[in-house]
Amino acid sequence: MKVVPLDAPLGARIEGICWQDATRPEVAAALNKALGEYLLVVVPGQPMTAPLMRDFASAFGKPRVQLLRYKRNNEVPEVSTMVSTLMADGTTDKTALRSEDWHTDDSYMAVPAKATLLHNMETPSHGGRTWFCNMHTVYEALPESTRKRIDGKRAIHAYDTARARNRPSPRTAQEIAETPDVEHPLVRTHPDTGRKALYLNFNRLDRILGIDRAESDALLDELAAEARKPKHHFGHQWTVGDCVVWDNRATMHRVDVDYPVGERRIMQRVLIEGDKPF
């Protein structure tokens, strides 16, 4: 197995393995080491069946089911099917459009996923790049005075917030009951490295606690402006069969919704169980 660092603020490409190799402890250890070092790994290969993807994902921790039942694979519930095809009749899945802005998966949960695997099954002829942002370098680029203002602050994350540009998929009554608003630190410490990362989510972070709404909105806009700078970003152009794995604790991601209407864009996703942010 070869780890090739990308010419980008995060990410490495893995070469010379097939999916089944990841069940070997030494390969799993090497994959996790690369993920820890680069926050994101791109593993090229052939499209995986749902059971094979669950087994591959297990190299990174314990796969867990996602909130929205309608996306779960019938046979392997830990694997979700994410359809982001742009439908001419306007029936495009809402979650696909919402992914257009920067977010980290699952931050509306008390214990968000530590990592996400996204695996490309079908891809449009062009466009649809997924972008990733290094939230360690975003935090470190903030002026000292801003870092002093935000260290120790906590924030409310919700399934939806008026601050988000697009609305999320509707939830069933059971799913609503499972997702009360939660509180997280605004700056979180990576449990493996001790390095600090700004913990933002443009779709879920509603307000910073301890200051009024107007001040919170202004401060969140200021933090977002740093995260939007291209110097913190890497954009992945998908090839069918690619699996990208990222560390949700220190990254955000978004998709370019710039691909042709009607061309199928289908991913399989697995979330890996995490720890409570601190």
Q: Which residues bind Fe ion (CB under 5 A)?
A: 105
Instruction: Check if the beta carbon of residue 248 is closer than 8 Å to that of residue 60.
Output: no
- Residue with Cβ nearer Fe ion (30 or 98): 98
Q: What is the 3-state secondary structure (H, E, C) of the chain?
A: CEEEECCCCCCEEEECCCHHHHHCHHHHHHHHHHHHHHCEEEECCCCCCHHHHHHHHHHHCCEECCCCHHHECCCCCCEEEEECCCCCCCCCCHHHHHCCCCECCCCCCCCCCCEEEEEEEECCCCCCCEEEEEHHHHHHHCCHHHHHHHCCCEEEECCCCCCCCCCCCCCCHHHHHCCCCEEEECEEECCCCCCEEECCCCCCEEEECCCCHHHHHHHHHHHHHHHCCHHHEEEECCCCCCEEEEECCCEEEEECCCCCCCCCCEEEEEEECCCCCC
- Residue with Cβ nearer Fe ion (142 or 200): 200
Report how far Cα 144 is from the mean position of its chain's Cα atoms: 27
- Residue with Cβ nearer Fe ion (2 or 94): 94
- Residue with Cβ nearer Fe ion (84 or 137): 84
- Residue with Cβ nearer Fe ion (112 or 124): 112
- Residue with Cβ nearer Fe ion (139 or 246): 246
Report, in Å, the least distance between residue 84 CB and Fe ion.
Answer: 10
Report, in Å, the least distance between residue 112 CB and Fe ion.
Answer: 11
Position closest to Fe ion via CB: 105
Report, in Å, the least distance between residue 43 CB and Fe ion.
Answer: 18
Report, in Å, the least distance between residue 185 CB and Fe ion.
Answer: 20
Report, in Å, the least distance between residue 270 CB and Fe ion.
Answer: 12
Angstrom CA distances, 267 to 60, 130, 132, 150, 183, stand at 19, 12, 17, 36, 30
Report, in Å, the least distance between residue 130 CB and Fe ion.
Answer: 9
- Residue with Cβ nearer Fe ion (99 or 216): 99
Rounded to whole angstroms, the Cα distance separating 146 from 140 reads 10
Report, in Å, the least distance between residue 36 CB and Fe ion.
Answer: 20
